[in-house]
Amino acid sequence: MFPPWVRLAAALFAVSWGANQFAPMQLVYREHLGLGNGSFTAMLASYVVGLVPALLYFGRVSDRFGRRAVIRPMIPVGIVSSLVLIAGAAVPDLLYLGRVLAGLASGMAFGAGTAWMKELSSTAPAGAGARRAAVSLSAGFGCGALFAGVIAQWLPAPELLPYLVHIALMLGALALVWAVPDVRVRATDLTAKPLSVLATPQFRWGIAPWAPWVFGVATVSFATLPPLVSESLRSTSVAFTGLVAALTLITGAVIQPWAKRWSQLDEAAAGIRVGIALGVLGFGAATVVAYTGGALSVAAIVVAAFLLGSCYGILLGSGLASVEKLAPPNELAQTVAVFYCLIYIGFAVPFVISLLAPHLGYATCFVGAALLMLLCVAVGRKVKDRHLTHT
């Protein structure tokens, strides 16, 4: 039998597959249902409506009653989300509900699952739990987008088959994770209390200001950039969208060993600086996409996906490692949940760009995003250092 952490990793992989299998479906739904960019990015972002409340609520439930009490029921919720998305091919409004349910499943899994992974990795080197969770989630995000794109591009019933694959994965994950031991001692004090970590300058100013850019850069890569070259690619545009999403997110998984090294230095500040620098370069490549066309713009998207994916992976790994260091054991899942809430704010970035681009142009939006990301980090670091100096 696989080690317990591997079985949990399978569940995190499966739920994150479901979270991102929707990403390459934009062109499918545009062709079959007539959805525009604004409608699709709104559907993509509606995932957050289910995610954020679930993260906050089930993180607390997990810290009180155990991780398994949350992860087991998460899997049926994930299965239902794909069933509703299948029905969305006939009733498009159900696509919003399916995305909300996918967010609910993810919210149940991410906080509790990341905390559980740390506890199951107690005999491994420091930070192993955060890295294992980040790799499992990033690999699932990337593979879900890649295989959904390939299936939708070249196999029949593109509105059906990608979701059936996810349902099969979730059923397999249920069998693997069911008997994983819940090693955490459950809390006896069930009184709701504020999280102590949230009041620290290290979290409020050292992590929170840049956290939304974790998924902000990733979603721009796979939700905003591929449609800009869909006319050039035509018959392979769906598969290309999945490929870009996979490259972005799997790069985020592969780069975790570097995130590990930087997370051990100065509370991950070194990793954050490197991640932000790669993100700025990625937005620069995105600007090239906006100014060019044809093969050059396709190549620029691939470069942007690699750079933005590296930014995403380093920031995610550095952030989770920092949260593990800051949070006491009885607040770990809840603090991780708050961190995930912050990073998922970034899902709104493509939607904002879709609103602004017709008036400002995509190039201006990408440059503005890079400048805003730099500003968030610089201001947060300055305020954090001032607070630490006066304490």
Q: What is the CATH number of domain 4-180+197-389?
A: 1.20.1250.20
Task: State which amino acid sits at residue 331.
Answer: E
Output the CA angle 150-156-159, nearest 5 degrees. Answer: 75
**Residue 73 CB neighbour total at 10 angstroms:** 12
The tally of CA atoms less than 13 A away on the side-chain side of residue 319 is 31
Q: Are the CB atoms for 244 and 305 separated by under 8 Å?
A: yes
Closest of 163, 153, 180 to residue 85, by C-alpha: 163
Which tokens belong to 36?
């525009």
Q: ∠65-69-71 over CA atoms, to 5°?
A: 130
Domains of the chain, by residue range, sit at 4-180+197-389
Contact assessment for residue 164 and residue 257, using Cβ atoms and an 8 Å cutoff: no
Q: Check residue 388 and give its pLDDT.
A: 66
Cβ atoms of 309 and 251 within 8 Å: the answer is yes
Question: Cα torsion for 305, 306, 310, 313, to the nearest 10°?
Answer: 60
Q: Which residues, given as ranges, of the chain have pLDDT below 70?
A: 1, 26-27, 36-38, 184-194, 259-268, 387-388, 390-391
Sole residue written with tokens 């049926």? 76
With beta carbons less than 8 A apart as the criterion, state whether 85 and 29 touch: no
User: Contact 18/139 with Cβ under 8 angstroms?
Assistant: no
Interacting residues of 386 by C-beta distance below 8 A, sequence separation 6+:
none
Q: What is 183-250 written as a DSSP string?
A: -SPPPS-------GGGGSHHHHTTTTTTTTHHHHHHHIIIIISGGGGHHHHGGGHHHHHHHHHHHHHH
Residue type, 102: A
Specify the pLDDT at position 27: 67
Q: What is the pLDDT of residue 223?
A: 83
Q: Which residue has the tokens 């059923």?
A: 171
pLDDT given for residue 375 in this prediction: 93
Give residue 299's pLDDT: 93
Closest by CA to 258, choosing from 271, 273, 272, is 271
pLDDT at 36: 66
